A and B are shown apart, each in its own frame.
Chain A
Amino acid sequence: MIDMTSFDFVTSCGNCHPGGGPLEYDREGNRYDEYMKKQGMKSGGDNNLDGDYFKAKWIDAGVIEADCLLCHMPSFNFKERNKQLGNLNFRWAATAGSGLGKVDGSIKDNKPVRITYDTGKFDDKGMISPHMVREPRNDTCLQCHGKPGWKKRGASFSPRTDVHIRAGLRCVDCHPAGSRALDERIKGKEVHQIGKGDDPGGNVRNDLDNTMLDCNYCHTNGYLGAPIAKHDGLPPHHVEKIACQTCHIPFRYVKTAQVQVSDVFNKGPKISPPPKRIWTFYDQDMNYWNHYGELNMFTRDDQPTTPFQPVLIRYKGKIYPANRVHSSWPGLVEEGKPGLNQPLMKDVFMMWQMHNEDASKYPELSGIVDDSGDGMPEVNKPEEIDAVISSVRQYLTDTNYDLTGKKVVWVLNDRLYYSGNEGEKLPKHDFEASPYASVHKYSHDVAPAGAALGSKGCSDCHSRDSHFFFAQVLEYPFGEDGKPVTIKQADLLGYRDMPRDRKPWTYWTAVFFKYLTIVVMAGLIVHMLLDVWKYYRHKKGSKNEQ
């Protein structure tokens, strides 16, 4: 079984991946189209079941080279480019997107491709002078980063929700590249590594983590008119232990998917294409969220406002606001292999589709019902776990999937179930809900300083009802009753008492004063008791004498 091939990757993921790398070269570094020709591979053939060439039409479609215009030409038409990717007209996609020519025909439909160049854009020598910008505009970045920024990061990138966008900052101001970058790792003329942060859920180029400008840089030197952060009276361990975002993103204004399950069928409206129905989302308040349906109804500019207070995690020694995504899904344990595999989501979707059309197929799925009362079924009881496991196993068997040495399991966050009553816990980081789901720090959509935690005083956090310590945060999306299982935020952060350094100096100070108190008070109390004893002894003696 071959999952997504490199060729498939271009047609779907290529919408945002700008070209070069895996869109141009195979894993051995050969350019796809040239290598296919050289090796005598057949366009659209099995090609030795090589994932880079299986059913691929690189020879006809071409490859996607790194496309400068995509980022540096503000008028670049992403829609037109992506349309060409869908038609498998890879090598002409940049021409169509940049508007230099009109592309007709489709490799996908075996219609010959023909280009009609816009001659008005070329001079007498055949040269072009397009409107190019040195630094890409925000809209260009958001073409790709807008949607994922919404789904699990709750970012809106709008002046309404972000103080930096409101102040007129551009993405590249904080995420510089090339000669404008400050970090030595990415600094240099025409070096195209863009300054990045450090997302706990992302492992792409971790070696370049934190190459972007951090809050501290601008807010200590006033760069780009940034107000200088004073934090008068704030004990220094706050800024050492708590990330700026924690206080300065006290709320998110756009909902995020806190839970993504892929074991039930999502019957929400307007979900397209249908296989996406295998994913069901819940927001930060554990309300069902028809994310894909909303994506079909709203653009990023129309995001509905649903404020919530972020969950706080401890990551690399600091407290951050984050979305620790929770998940439940059918999985595969493979003998002798580390980690877990997953059946293809389209298979799980097909299993449900067949059951929905004919309840006699995979009948145990009928036992998965809604216990929480939100109208969406959820897998939470032992018999429901058994139903998922046995139905998936049966479907895979029916479709001739080789289950030799493999065991179908069900996974809920860090719990691995072999059956409804048998399972084990999976190791994970404290900041994760699941070792197999993402954790996204919130960094965009920063609130004005006047709205930050602490701006109304210490009691914003240090009070009985404060979110910082006492919020109930999600531990497992569904308990046996279908309701969310929560823990106290302070417990998630690992607080047993006030946050403080456990350094030797502090420790020995405490030891010194504790013993001093015990010794001094014991001495004083003994002195007092002896004094009183003497008094009453004398008094009694005087009475006896009388």
Chain B
Amino acid sequence: MSNSPEGQNTKRFNIYFRMQHILMFLSVISLVVTGIPLWCLRYPDSTALTGVIDIFGGLDSVRIWHHWAGWMLTFAFAYHLLYVFLHPEGRRDLLLMMPRKKDFQDLYHNILYFTGKRSTPPQFGRFSYFEKFDYWAAFWGCIIMIGTGLIMMYPQKVPELMPGGWGTTVFAVALEAHFHEAILATLALLIWHMFNVHARPEKFPGSLVWFHGNVTEEERHEEHPLEDEELEQYETFREM
């Protein structure tokens, strides 16, 4: 990959990674769409919002679709965990995805660059700090949403697994966390992720790297100039 000549395509994401991403965005979009009427239950006496439930043909059908989308997300997340622990490229990417001191330095550097106090942008490795943020936000989001979602799906099981008297509290906290994290995840995806991969002036209207996994060497050197160096370090580390 690192030896591809300039102008040629190089594989940034393998098929497993792309499959995970496709599963992830299909499930998350479905979850957001079907989650809106469920979210509206928070305001049952608001006729404006409960009307959304009717659009979906009733609360029960929305809930069933939401549950299936949730299972798809669970599958995608489980698939991803297996990938990052079992597949060599997965293990490598997980390690390279770990936050480092340089990420914070890059953020500081980038802000100076944005504000005109530095003339050049920071140089990123295989994953920039905002890509790492995206990844770990999604990772955290999956844990919260899948965990709290399961508690909400099996409310009768919760008290059985909890010390006496904690069932209701755990359920109520799960409900609250699911409700709020859903907002955060949706906003982050719609505003931040969509901006970075589609709406950014340099990116608009977005690349198909999520589909074919390829980037050109020029793109790679421009956006991830330190990737080769990082990969070499990883290989050295792995062979030690």
Which residues does A use to contact B, with CB under 8 Å?
Answer: 231-237, 240, 457-459, 462-464, 466, 469-470, 488, 490, 495, 497-498, 500-501, 503, 505-506, 509-510, 513-514, 516-517, 520-521, 524-525, 527-528, 530-537
Contacts and interface: CB of A to CB of B under 8 A. Distances in A.
Given A233-B155, A533-B114, A521 B187 contact: yes
B116 A528 contact: no
Contacts of A520: 137, 184, 188
B168 A236 contact: yes
Contacts of B54: 463-464
B111 A459 contact: no
Contacts of A458: 59-60, 63
B111 A530 contact: yes
Nearest to A456: B60
B207 to A, nearest CB: 17
Contacts of B116: 534, 537
11 contacts: A464-B51, A464-B54, A488-B45, A505-B173, A509-B180, A516-B180, A517-B180, A521-B187, A527-B111, A533-B114, A536-B201
A506 B41 contact: no
A289 to B, nearest CB: 30
Nearest to A507: B176
Among A236, A457, A510, which residue has the most Cβ atoms of chain B within 10 A?
Answer: A236
A513 B53 CA distance: 25
Contact of B172 (A505, A524, A535): A505
B44 A517 contact: no
B79 interface: no
A232 B181 CA distance: 26
Interface in B45-73: 45, 47, 50-51, 53-54, 58-60, 63
B177 interface: yes
Given A464-B51, A530-B115, A457 B59 contact: yes
Nearest to A530: B114
B159 interface: yes
B121 to A, nearest CB: 9
B66 to A, nearest CB: 12
Given A233-B155, A513-B181, A528 B191 contact: yes
B152 A235 contact: yes
B43 interface: yes
A535 B171 contact: no
Interface of B: 41-45, 47, 50-51, 53-54, 58-60, 63, 111, 113-116, 130, 137, 152-153, 155-156, 158-159, 167-169, 171-173, 175-177, 180-181, 183-184, 187-188, 191-192, 195, 200-202
Contacts of B202: 535
B155 A459 contact: no
Contacts of B167: 236
A520 B183 CA distance: 12
Q: Is the interface of B mostly helix, strand, loop or mixed?
A: helix
Contacts of B47: 464
A500 B181 CA distance: 17
Contacts of A231: 156
A500 B172 contact: yes
B155 A527 contact: no
B58 A457 contact: yes
Given A464-B51, A498-B44, A516-B180, 13 more contacts: A236-B155, A459-B59, A462-B59, A469-B44, A503-B169, A505-B173, A506-B169, A510-B176, A516-B184, A520-B137, A521-B187, A521-B191, A527-B111
A528 B155 CA distance: 40
Contacts of B173: 505-506, 509
Given A531-B114, A534-B116, A517 B59 contact: no
A537 B115 CA distance: 10
Contacts of B158: 236
Contacts of B41: 462, 498
Given A459-B58, A464-B54, A506 B181 contact: no
A506 B176 contact: yes
A462 B191 CA distance: 31
A488 B184 CA distance: 33
Given A237-B171, A237-B172, A469 B45 contact: yes
Contacts of A500: 172, 175-176
Contacts of A525: 191
A513 B175 contact: no
Contacts of B181: 513
Contacts of A510: 176, 180
Nearest to A230: B156
Given A457-B60, A527-B130, A530-B115, A490 B50 contact: no
Contacts of B187: 517, 521
B173 to A, nearest CB: 5
A495 B130 contact: no
Contacts of A517: 180, 183-184, 187
Contacts of B115: 530, 534
A513 B145 CA distance: 13
Contacts of A533: 114
Nearest to A490: B45
B106 to A, nearest CB: 12
Nearest to B148: A509
A320 to B, nearest CB: 19
Nearest to B144: A513
A483 to B, nearest CB: 23
A501 to B, nearest CB: 4
Contacts of B113: 534
B44 A524 contact: no
Contacts of A530: 111, 114-115
A447 B168 CA distance: 28
Nearest to B177: A509
Contact of B53 (A234, A462, A524): A462
Given A236-B156, A462-B59, A464-B51, A495 B44 contact: yes
B182 to A, nearest CB: 10
Contacts of B172: 237, 500-501, 503, 505-506
A500 B58 CA distance: 23
Given A235-B152, A517-B184, A501 B177 contact: no
Contacts of A514: 180
Nearest to B63: A458
Contacts of B137: 520
Nearest to B153: A233
Nearest to A464: B50
Contact of B60 (A459, A495, A532, A537): A459
Given A236-B156, A525-B191, A513 B50 contact: no
Contact of A521 (B43, B51, B155, B184): B184
A282 B53 CA distance: 36
Contacts of B191: 521, 524-525, 528
